[in-house]
Amino acid sequence: MKKDIMSYCGDEILDAADKNWNSAVNKPKSGRVAFIAAAALIGAALIAVFAVAMSMRNSVTPPPETTHVTDSGTEDDNSVRYNESGFGLIFTKSKGTDSIYVVSGTAGGSGAETAPPAIEFRVGGIIVKVRQKSVHSDTFTGLNGGTKYRLMSFDVLDVVRGENVPDTILYLVPEYYSVDMSRYDFLYMSLMQRGFEGFLMKDVTTNELCEFQSPVFVTSWENPSLGDVIAFNDGVFDESLWQNDKWLFGYQFARMMLEHSSDELVVKRGCTEQYMLDRIEEKIGELQISEKDAPTVFYAATAPDELKTALEYAKNGTFRCEMYGKNVSFQRYINGCPTNESFYIWLGDNTVNYGNVSYSGTDMNGLYDLGTEVERISAQFKENIPKPPHFDPGKKELLSLKVEGYYNKTDDGVLQFITTTWTYIARDDHALYYDQMFTVYENGKTRQISRQELSDLLGYEAGILGESYTYGEGVVMPMY
């Protein structure tokens, strides 16, 4: 019987890790960190499964919603109440997708040398005091698929750090970590801006593109279980949020730290809001973070003149926007599939760097609808899984089968192709085996070409071709 990720972490792991901590409680800070790592070895199976699952989060099936009593004696109910109002989204019907996993799985394996995560409230971000307002019932992804998110909105009660913070926070949380936060009087969140007005995502529930009309935010590493969300009830830190089933991976480490009042946290059991605020100020001082470096929320509507031309150009078609700190990247999509047109904005000095490729209206005339073709082929493959073209997998287990569409403009026109990638695993020798098929669409026909032929057509060794591995030759996974 297949078990979900969180079933690998229970009280046995938490208690065993706690015993390891006890032997180090009087050691210096570095010693305590070492013992957290030692405790992580006890949960090696969990960490390994989690690490692989995080790389394929769109294929993770969350555990069922449950209700149980936490260590603090409060009831834990993961159910979420949905409300579509107040998100300010504009929806347009879309078709096709850039890629589909026909089959997806995880490799498993040992994670004995996987370091435990850093459990901390990151004081370098935008810090706000908020109250949950509503949760959208639909599921969203970026234009390139991948992680599935839920969209939550929070009323901002106070801003501890940050400039131009809106009155309502739109927060993207990976679907797996989505839990009800409305039961708390208020929460403190450390956030990073993920997008601004015009930011596009795909509503996979309705197969529509949605455009945000205000900034959108995430927590660090897009994982709220690692300490960037702190709940309060009746003026006191409420640990029950961290104890919910979906956040248990982070809590197995946070629990030890709380039980020993670790100074690496900004809270302790029974602490007040003021205690936490004082600790945040101390952390800012320790890291020598200057107030002049406080993050400022970026709005396209008030962008400096140097950026307006680029931002207007991004409206000329469909562009995937990725925002990481002061770096903003744009990539054009056609029929739901990526192209090789991109440009970048650096908010540090308001400069724009354009790529060497741009698509004109003429370039886009007569292109194949690869997004719809990806969906058609994927549906066909689900009915009858094809064999890889370059080797016989024998009894090896099919780990994943992915279909992806691309448009690449070259000197000879727009190259249109779909990549199919097989990944097999041999559990006995802990090795992965790969194969690929490239199908080019041109002149009303399709033809299959080799990896080298595709590289020659593109004029460079593109990252979309994957590593230069030999088809059917095992790639051994590291086992520590």
- Distance between CA atoms of 258 and 72, rounded to whole angstroms? 12
- Distance between CA atoms of 213 and 332, rounded to whole angstroms? 20
pLDDT along the chain (480 residues), means of 10: 36 44 44 40 35 36 35 45 77 80 68 63 95 95 91 97 96 96 97 96 92 95 94 97 94 95 95 98 88 88 96 92 94 94 95 94 92 94 95 94 94 94 89 94 93 87 68 80
Phi first, then psi: what are they for 31, rounded to 5°?
Answer: -65, -40
In order of 13, 70, 410, the CA distances from 19 in angstroms are 10, 20, 61
DSSP string, 384-446: SPPPPSS---TT-EEEEEEEEEEEEEETTEEEEEEEEEEEEEETTTTEEEEEEEEEEEETTEE
Residue 310: what pLDDT?
A: 96
Beta bridge partners of 232: 186, 237
Q: Do 144 and 58 contact (CB within 8 A), yes or no?
A: no
Residue 461: what pLDDT?
A: 63
Beta-carbon neighbour count of residue 434 at 10 Å?
Answer: 22
Phi first, then psi: what are they for 359, rounded to 5°?
Answer: -100, 130
Q: Do 395 and 424 contact (CB within 8 A), yes or no?
A: no
Strands (DSSP E) found in 228-336:
229-233, 236-237, 318-324, 327-334
Residue 30: what pLDDT?
A: 42
What confidence tens digit (pLDDT) does each residue in 100-148 have? 778 877 665 544 344 567 899 999 999 999 999 999 999 999 998 889 9
Residue 287: what pLDDT?
A: 86
- Distance between CA atoms of 293 and 162, rounded to whole angstroms? 9
What confidence tens digit (pLDDT) does each residue in 349-379 have? 999 999 999 999 899 999 999 999 999 999 9
Helix axes 29-42, 11-22, angle to 10 degrees: 150
Residue 145: what pLDDT?
A: 84
Instruction: Tell me the Cα Rg of the chain.
Output: 24
